[in-house]
């Protein structure tokens, strides 16, 4: 029996959070990421101020809510992707923002996804391993894991 849309989105959200969390790591006190952006929990940056603190439960809830928003953005821009691809792109969008999958003028991956060239789009993920122009080894490893899931 095929999954419903809601089941597929739910499964992708769980898989994307499970993929992203180890790469992001849990930090309950706000810190500056490698390029200086105030960050907390599992890589959350929205509204974070240095000195902020969140409980583990608050961090887990924040990850779930923000990953759900990332998955929803992917589903809105590229509806109907298989669960594993939705999860891979959701993890990447959680980290990079929706331009990756939604803006074919600024992202080759988005253009390929829009054209239905899904596996070619997966192969674009490793290119998104920079922050403010710097190649970050953690992003390189994460994009490789996302690419592997995307192509599964």
Distance CA 73, CA 102 (A): 8
* Active-site residue (options: 24, 68, 75, 146): 24
What DSSP letter does each residue of 45-77 carry, written as one string?
A: -TT--TT-B--HHHHHHHHHHHHHHHHHHHHHH
Distance CA 105, CA 88 (A): 21
- 131: tokens are 């922050």
| Active site (annotated) includes residue 33 | yes
* Active-site residue (options: 33, 103, 123, 148): 33
DSSP-assigned beta bridge partners for residue 136? none
| Active site (annotated) includes residue 52 | no
State the catalytic residues.
Answer: 24, 33
């Amino acid at each position: 029996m095929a999954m419903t849309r809601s089941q597929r989105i739910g499964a992708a959200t769980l898989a994307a959070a499970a993929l992203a969390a180890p790469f992001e790591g849990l930090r309950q006190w706000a810190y500056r990421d490698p390029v200086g952006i105030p960050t907390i929990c599992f890589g959350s940056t929205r509204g974070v101020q240095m000195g902020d603190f969140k409980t583990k439960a608050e961090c887990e809830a924040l990850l779930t809510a923000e990953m759900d928003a990332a998955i929803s953005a992917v589903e809105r821009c590229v509806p109907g992707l298989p669960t594993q691809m939705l999860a891979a792109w959701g993890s990447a969008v959680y980290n990079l923002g929706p331009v990756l999958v939604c803006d074919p003028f600024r992202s080759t991956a988005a253009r390929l996804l829009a054209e239905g060239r899904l596996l070619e789009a997966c192969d674009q993920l490793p290119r998104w391993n920079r922050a403010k122009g710097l190649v970050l080894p953690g992003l390189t490893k994460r994009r490789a894991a996302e690419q592997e899931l995307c192509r599964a």
